[in-house]
Each structure stands twice: as C-alpha cells, then as structure tokens.
Amino acid sequence: MTMTIKQATKNVGGLSQTDKMPSKSWGISAKECNIGSKLRASKQTTVCDGCYAFKGLMILPTQQNAFNRRLELWKTDRKLWVLSMDHLIKNHKPIKDAKFFRWFDSGDIQGAEMFQDIIELANLNPDIKFWLPTKEFKLVNIYSSQIPSNLNVRKSHPLINAHKMQPIENVTASYVYDEDKLNTLPSSSKVCPATMPDSNKKCNECRMCWDKSIPSITYIKH
C-alpha cells in the first residue's frame, strides 16, 4: 500500500510552518535540549536564557504535546520515521516547491542515532537544502565528515556577544549579538536581515542560513 501524505505526516508527528520561515520544519520541545538545558541551568548569561521556544505559542499545551509526540514517534520506530519523513520531503508540495527544510525550529539533536537519520534523509534528497542549528558540538564533530553538501549544520555559540569557537570541518557557525555590539563583529560574519530593527522579521528571499558558502551568521538579540 502506497503511503499517503496524511499517513506520513501522522507517522512523524506533523511538521511546523512559522510565519518567518520560507519552509517547513520539524522540531521537538526545547525542554529536551541536552546542552541547552545545561546552559539554562547555569549561572552564566547564555542565548538559551531568552529562547523563543519557551515563549508565546510555543509553550501552549497543544504545541508541547505535539513536540512530545514527534519525539516519541521517532523513538518508537526510527525506520518508519525515516521512510515517512522521506516521503514527505519528496512529495509534500510545500517542501517540493520551496526546496528548503529546517530541522529544529525548537529543540536539538537527541544523539548519534537521530543525527544519522537526518544525514540519511539529506542523502536521500540531494535536491533539497537542509539547515540544522545546534549546540551539540561534540556529536557534530564526530560525524562532520559524513555531512552531505546539502545539509548545512550551523553550530550556535552558547554565549551572547562572543565570537570565538573551535572550528569544525564541514560545519558553519552562528552567533547572537546585542545591536550595540555589532561593531565588534569580525567583518566575515553576515548579519541576519530578519533580525534588523527595520525589518519585517521574515526571511523573505534570504536563504543565508541554508548557505554553506556563508561560514558565519549573526542574529541580533531579540
């Protein structure tokens, strides 16, 4: 029996579509972030302290239940999850038309198995560009040589107004800065247009986050 879009969507727990993003995304509760949870519990001021995934619509019970359902479905049957996600990426019109996909509009990689599944999906869909922001540096470093060209993994600096990170081969970077500190940025770092004060807070035609040729992107703190 051929899998339908409806069944595939059910098998992965649904997809997200935010107003800002030009594409669909798949994420889980930010409460599940391994590194992020440690950063939020630390005494340092980190980017995770003001995480948008702990605000607004993201914290509604219906949204949290959806996030939890997605993670549970992945844990229950990884093979079915990969098959279903692959079916959606190949056949769901919004993804086919956009040709861009984001991992983790909320949450982060849950370990090696999940990262391997994401890498597999990128290999299965070479015509789609994937973006994965993460703070799981050690995990990404182990598998960096396996990351395909259409999967842009951006390691996110945990601190605000900080720009030094150990480089990882085949991995790009992102940072968060206060607006009045932008003059301290290295010239090589591009500033996200959607975070500029006079912007409409949407990606519009910009696709820098997905672009591996841009090694460093800085987001202005909300």
- Listed in sequence order, the DSSP H helices in 100-167 are 112-124, 137-143
pLDDT attached to residue 67: 93
Q: Where are the domains of the chain?
A: 5-220
DSSP string, 186-210: -TTPEEPGGGSTTS-SS-TT--GGG
Element (H, E) at 100: strand 100-103
The encoded tokens of residue 193 equal 């247009």
- Rounded to whole angstroms, how far apart are CA atoms 45 and 52? 15
pLDDT attached to residue 50: 75
pLDDT attached to residue 1: 60
Residue among 105, 133, 148, 131 at smallest CA distance from 206: 131
> 157: helix, coil or strand?
strand
Element (H, E) at 176: strand 172-177
The encoded tokens of residue 196 equal 């500029």
CA 78 to chain centre: 19
pLDDT tens, N- to C-terminus, the chain (222 residues): 689 999 999 999 999 988 788 889 999 998 889 988 888 888 778 888 778 777 777 777 888 999 999 999 999 999 999 999 999 999 999 999 999 999 999 999 999 999 999 999 999 999 999 999 999 999 999 999 999 999 999 999 999 999 889 999 999 999 999 999 999 988 888 999 999 988 888 999 999 999 999 999 999 987
Cβ(172)–Cβ(214) under 8 Å? yes
Of how many residues is the chain composed? 222
pTM flag (> 0.75): yes
> 60: helix, coil or strand?
coil
pLDDT attached to residue 45: 82
- Listed in sequence order, the DSSP H helices in 47-167 are 61-76, 78-91, 93-98, 112-124, 137-143
pLDDT attached to residue 56: 76
Cβ(138)–Cβ(100) under 8 Å? no
- Rounded to whole angstroms, how far apart are CA atoms 50 and 28? 17
> What amino acid is encoded at 187 in this protein?
S
Backbone angles phi, psi at 124, to 5 degrees: -75, -15
Element (H, E) at 11: helix 5-12
Q: Are strands 172-177 and 190-191 parallel, antiparallel or unpaired?
A: unpaired
pLDDT attached to residue 37: 86
